[in-house]
Amino acid sequence: MGIFQQAKDMYKLQKEAKSVKKELTNIHIEADEGGVTVTINAELECVDVKINDEAMANRTSLEKSLVKAINKAAKKGQQIAAEKMKNVMNMMGMGSQEKTASA
């Protein structure tokens, strides 16, 4: 493979990665926990937090609910981002290769 083909392939990868990143920014994920609703995008940036009146009454419970809701949303976001990035990884030759485990 010539240097020009490598440069062309690298440009294509960069363009695809930018496209996926933009797409991830526009995907919003909600998670609810104990009267708290957290919305993040698939880039794992917090977009919105809503807390109902009942959750506001107990600070300790509210703090725990916030942590749980954020973690739920982040986990979903990571799964979505991984799925979206599969194509880019495959283009780089780093796609999922089956590994055998010995017991």
* Cβ neighbours around 49 below 10 Å, total: 13
Mean pLDDT (the chain) is 85
**Owning domain of residue 27:** 9-91
Whole-angstrom distance, CA of residue 36 vs CA of residue 70 = 9
CATH code of the domain covering residue 39: 3.30.1310.10
The model's confidence at residue 94, banded by pLDDT at 50, 70 and 90, is: low
Is residue 101 in some structural domain?
Answer: no
Strand, coil or helix: 94: coil
Can you say whether the dihedral through the CA atoms of 67, 73, 76, 77 is positive or negative? negative
Number of domains, the chain: 1
Q: What is the pLDDT of residues 8-41, one digit of tens each?
A: 878 888 888 888 888 899 999 999 999 999 999 9
Q: What is the pLDDT of residues 58-87, one digit of tens each?
A: 999 999 999 999 999 999 999 998 888 887
Residue 103 has pLDDT above 80, yes or no: no
Is residue 58 in some structural domain?
Answer: yes
